[in-house]
Amino acid sequence: MALSVIILAAGKGTRMKSALPKVLHPLANKPLVEHVYETAKKLGAEEIVIVYGHGGEQVKAKCYHFDARWVEQKEQLGTGHAVQHGLEAVNLENDVLVLYGDVPLTTTDSLKLLLEDFNNKIALMTVKLDNPFGYGRIIRDKHDKVVAIVEQKDASDEQKLIAEVNSGILAAKGRTLNDLLNRIDNKNVQGEYYLTDIFSLAANDGIEVVTSHPSGAWEVEGVNNRLQLATLERIHQMNIANELMTNGVALADPARLDVRGDVDISNDVFIDVNVVLEGNVKIGKGTTIGPNVVIIDSTIGENVVIKSNCVIESTIIENNVDVGPFARLRPETHLHEKSRVGNFVEIKKSAIGKGSKVNHLSYIGDTEMGADVNIGAGTITCNYDGAYKHKTIIKDKVFVGSDSQLVAPVTIGQGVTIGAGATITKDVEDDALVISRVPQRHINGWKRPQKK
């Protein structure tokens, strides 16, 4: 049977104390609702409907890339009311799964278990909590069948002692769910249409409610304030760290790694503390990542050493390369095999050839560099004329002395040696020596100015 997923994302999130809609607050650098959407996609949902309300235009603008239908809930009259809106946009012949835009960590394994077999039944995810305060309690009969769910504010003192609670995540046939929702009312303390009221109606109709449970309570925890958001962030990061270590990645401290995207890390990689990986990051076997390194949308080869405090973005690093410490590699940088980039070097939109070295205090921009080039300390490629960027070409086996400026557009031929302190403004033929210096003058007896 085809699956439709309704994601409820209309809540204001007052307790977040923020102008940003709650479902847009980031977990692992991704909006809460995007985690839920991606889970729905992994389940193979035929259609996804997002019910939005507060800050709806912001939510739609941020999530413009979603392959989903958007349904506005202009008045927030409860979860039952929200699901009714969602059902208006789905194929009622499908199975329907209800998820929540502020519950980001539900796993596909737990949802597959929920969806396993609920033909002519309602499937409900429940969880047992040490402190169930605030949650709807699961009411079972003497045969252990679910007959109702009672919300906290409507529960008796005896019912409040029940530890099994409703996660809100449920699945049913579209027409069954629609029929039940059309029969609920808002005669309760909140004056809202509770989604949970369908369960007592289902029991009266002889529709069985089957339950399943997540691997941990964190899978069904929602975000209502920044403290809860921070708690789920750490759980999410620890889950990622545990998976990496299981697959052979060595972490100096699993609690001090942040993954904010999709990573592919081979075994025998060592990652030191306070490393942040964003976007799509691939790291090859035997590579070492030092402390306080940020890597964004980059591919790192095998046996690479990245020393402390480097920032690497949209870069390709081939095998056996050394980088850092304190290097910044900006987008479209490509470090070829066995090259070396040292401390306080910035490289942008440049290729550094095989075995070439840019060791200290240099800026290389819009440059194509050959093999076995040596760039001395303080060298700058002057690539910007105030309006346009220009290219520098440095061919194989060039030696550039310290404190040199290469004014682009310029080509330095193979085997050229450039003396320290040179300013190069014209192309240089192969194997030449270039010296560009003001003659040194000595003024004997000169007296330095003194304060009076």
C-alpha separations of 392 from 5, 318, 330, 384, 422 in Å? 53, 22, 17, 11, 15
State both tokens at 98: 């209800």
Q: Residue 102 and residue 406: Cα distance in Å, rounded?
A: 53
Cα torsion angle, 184, 185, 188, 190, sign: positive
Q: Residue 342 and residue 53: Cα distance in Å, rounded?
A: 51
State both tokens at 293: 């390194």
Q: Residue 138 and residue 145: Cα distance in Å, rounded?
A: 10
The one catalytic residue in 81, 85, 360, 390 is 360
Residue 421 phi, psi dihedral angles, 5° rounding: 80, 15
Q: Residue 403 and residue 395: Cα distance in Å, rounded?
A: 19
C-alpha separations of 365 from 62, 254, 310, 362, 405 in Å? 33, 36, 17, 10, 12
Amino acid at 259: V
Confirm whether 360 is a catalytic residue.
Answer: yes
| Closest to 286 (Cα-Cα) out of 249, 245, 241, 240 | 249
| Closest to 289 (Cα-Cα) out of 312, 317, 302, 308 | 308
**Could you identify the residue written with the tokens 């059309």?**
182
The 10 Å Cβ neighbour count of residue 101 is 29
C-alpha separations of 184 from 179, 206, 303, 416 in Å? 10, 17, 63, 84
Residues assigned a catalytic role: 360
